[in-house]
Structure 1
Amino acid sequence: MLRKERNWTQSFVASRVGCSNVMISELETGLYKPANPMLISFSNLFCITVTEIDPDTEIYLKELDYDLHQK
């Protein structure tokens, strides 16, 4: 887990991305899936891509790109 690899507390991560400790706990246990703006905050904090956090985002981005080019 990225947070534990860095020895960061849930409180630290929550304060950096602007959410609650409860939300971090729910993310880690799979009870909550963040929206794209929150994913971007996490990717910036951990210095990784959004798709490394949520591979489904890559599918969404490809579909969005396809839709944009069809118009």
Structure 2
Amino acid sequence: WNFEQRVANACIGADRADLVLAGCAILEAIRRVWPSERLRVADRGLREGILNELMADEGVWRRNWRPGMTS
């Protein structure tokens, strides 16, 4: 995809269109060093993950909690 196509993609957008290629190059290099059949993609940000981890360690938040659960 060219730059304009990346900008037009709702999942990328104008603010990240120039970063996607660098990210792909980094991912390709990592996969060469550590080949794997599967790849897990996080749908949340790094800061949220760190916050969740800290809260779980303090007993403030439980990892497997779902809305509607009482205990």
- The two structures have a TM-score, normalised by structure 2, of 0.28
Structure with larger RCO (C-alpha < 8 A, sep 6+): 1
- The two structures have a TM-score, normalised by structure 1, of 0.28
